[in-house]
Amino acid sequence: MELHRVGIIGLGLIGGSIGLDLQAKGHEVCGWVNKEENAIKAKERGLAQFISTDPEIIADCSIVILALPLPQLIEPAKQLINALPINAVITDVGSVKKPVLNKWRRLHPKFVASHPMSGTIHTGVEAGQRKLFKNKPWVATPDETTDNDALTVVKNLAISLGSDWITTDAETHDQAVALISHLPVYISASLLKSVNEERNNKVSTLAKTIASSGFKDTTRVGGGNPDLGVAMARYNSEKILETFTTYRASIDKFEKMISHKQWDKLKQELEQTQQNRSNYL
Amino acid sequence: MELHRVGIIGLGLIGGSIGLDLQAKGHEVCGWVNKEENAIKAKERGLAQFISTDPEIIADCSIVILALPLPQLIEPAKQLINALPINAVITDVGSVKKPVLNKWRRLHPKFVASHPMSGTIHTGVEAGQRKLFKNKPWVATPDETTDNDALTVVKNLAISLGSDWITTDAETHDQAVALISHLPVYISASLLKSVNEERNNKVSTLAKTIASSGFKDTTRVGGGNPDLGVAMARYNSEKILETFTTYRASIDKFEKMISHKQWDKLKQELEQTQQNRSNYL
């Protein structure tokens, strides 16, 4: 693979992890961060060779990765837009693609909307780690305005980090992530809320004492980063609300099987969900 | 601790694990299993010193543990009832306590209803493992008919396996497990059902391809043992149906915050659930 000078805007979990991997592949990495303290920490951790709070740092880059939280990505600062080299390939890592693409296809001719699907519970400049993307999906959502050569550049970069490259349209992406990534946050948070709002004190105290691995797993994403949970809801609300409707229908069916004592039917359903899960996880 | 001759009825995950730990503590363990093939496997694995499909095997035991699935526990076979030594302390490991206690307090004078709260995804005679109960809750639900000395015997046994001993009433237990152990199965299964019933083929195919660790965790218990999912529903349906009502109210609140674009409120709620979870997990 051709060696690049790659700019990364934001050196949090995703940006920092990309920075570590790209350097290991021989690329030159320039990181632009918002605060001096983050620049210092990112330098200590070696997340990029060159790190600054000055946008000038990305001036000579041939690829720039916008590794920013959704709000800064969807409502980008003027300073950010002006700092991007016109000839560079630009890509993002946002978990919602339609509003990103709608915004950015007007802002830069070589913008490629993409979403590396890797995560840990950690965030910030301390979170970046090697090989975060290995064997994980990296979804790109090109449309008719997307530059084909730019798409190939991003594809090669994703593949060089070990990702499974997938392309689809932004609409399909946003619907799929609403279902498997965003909805789980709210159904998991709802479970925590239900335990917390249990009015019988004896029950709620015992519940909290005996909560075990099953509860821990089911509530993990509902106890995650609140800012991320808000950003998803904000920028993918239409698709998420559709999944609430589907989900409520499923919940209602299970409730009905239980209240009507349809044990054979319940068993069939649970056999089905067991089978489904093992088919694709 | 005094050494006992302990009978275990059923050498699946829980029974087999108890058998392994008790032998390591110097007790004599007698296992009664339903099928010859299970007896052979259980012998190979050393789950008990004496193993048979003949109920006579438990005749001289001073403690007998009913490590049976809920249906066999709540509707016990005559052969089982007749085989229990009248002077032995009897306990069970069922995940629902009220129907168990209602049944068994009439069947044996030294019955103690209890529930060791440990699990893995494995079941059957191959599943038993050492130290399954270490630092895990073991909840007993005595009532006014429970023999105090028998309760102490079960308590000492649970503590000797490293469990955290908790006593409460059966009603409170069943409500708490409905909330943190049973409800999660159906909300998790509902998520799998929603993905499976997604009508847009492109979306459902992509969703299955990119489903990641968050989805995996949230759906783990919904992809578990169907028989267990049915047994919980069957024997704890009243409490489970109450939790559906509470849970739906929580889901509705999250949906409303999203549809009304109440981002500050949503952030507060997610901060709350994040805090709650870290407080007790």
Q: Does A274 touch chain B (CB under 8 A)?
A: yes
Answer whether residue B1 shows pLDDT above 70. no
Say whether both B25 and B130 belong to one domain.
yes
Q: Does residue B113 sit in the same domain as residue B88?
A: yes
**Are residues A163 and A202 both part of a single domain?**
no
- Tokens 């009507």, located at residue: A260
This model of the complex carries an ipTM of: 0.92
Residue B239 C-alpha, separation from nearest chain A C-alpha, in angstroms: 11
CB-based contacts of B11, cutoff 8 Å, min separation 6: B19, B31, B33, B38, B42, B47, B48, B51, B67, B125, B128
User: Average of pLDDT values for B178-187?
Assistant: 96
| Interface contact flag, B187 A191, Cβ < 8 Å | yes
Domain end position, chosen among A168, A198, A226: A168
pLDDT in tens, B188-223: 999 999 999 999 999 999 999 999 889 999 999 999
CB contact under 8 A, B210 and A117: yes
Residues B130 and B35 in one domain: yes
Q: How many CB pairs under 8 A join A and B?
A: 316
Is A214's CB within 8 Å of B220's CB?
A: yes
How close is the nearest chain A Cα to the Cα of B276, in Å? 7
Q: Are the beta carbons of A181 and B215 separated by less than 8 Å?
A: yes
Per the CB < 8 A criterion, the answer to whether A73 and A93 are in contact is no
Pair A123, A211 in one domain: no
> Does residue A158 sit in the same domain as residue A211?
no
Contact yes or no for B266 and A233 at CB 8 A: yes
Interface contact flag, B180 A195, Cβ < 8 Å = yes
pLDDT average, residue stretch B91-102: 97
Domain CATH code at residue A230? 1.10.3660.10
**Domain holding B124: CATH number?**
3.40.50.720
pLDDT at A174: 98
pLDDT for B281: 80
In terms of domains, do B22 and B132 share one? yes
Distance to chain B for A57, nearest Cα, Å: 34
**Cβ pair A254:B186 closer than 8 A:** yes
Interface contact A106, partner B, CB < 8 A: no
Same domain, B76 and B195: no
How far is Cα B121 from Cα B155, in angstroms, rounded to an integer? 26
Residue B119's pLDDT is what? 75
**Average pLDDT rounded to a whole number, residues B47-54:** 97
Half-sphere exposure of A59 (CA within 13 A, CB side): 6
- C-alpha distances (whole Å) from B8 to each of A57, A147, B61, B73, B113 are 70, 69, 9, 13, 15
Is 90 exceeded by the pLDDT of residue B121? no
Are B198 and B125 in a shared domain?
Answer: no
pLDDT, tens only, B149-159: 999 999 999 99
Residues A133 and A211 in one domain: no
Q: Give the nearest chain B residue to A133 (CA atoms).
A: B212
Residues in chain A: 281
In which element (H, E) is residue B83 found?
helix B78-83
**Longest CA pairwise span in chain A (Å):** 68
Are A143 and A170 spatial neighbours (Cβ–Cβ below 8 Å)? yes
Interface contact B72, partner A, CB < 8 A = no
Query: Which of A202, A242, A279, A193 lies closest to B187 in space, CA to CA?
Result: A193
Q: For residue A1, what pLDDT is reported?
A: 67
**Residues B91 and B36 occupy one common structural domain:** yes
Residues A197, A202, A208, A212: is their CA dihedral positive or negative?
A: negative
Q: B111 pLDDT exceeds 80?
A: yes
pLDDT per residue as tens digits for the range A43-67: 999 999 999 999 999 999 999 999 9
* Residues A197 and A121 reside in one and the same domain: no
Q: What is the mean pLDDT of residues A122-131?
A: 91
Domain of residue B142, residue span: 5-168
**Domain closes at, from B168, B185, B220:** B168
Tell whether A230 lies on the interface with B, counting CB pairs under 8 A: yes
Last residue of a domain, one of B168, B196, B223: B168
Q: Count up the domains in chain A and report the number.
A: 2
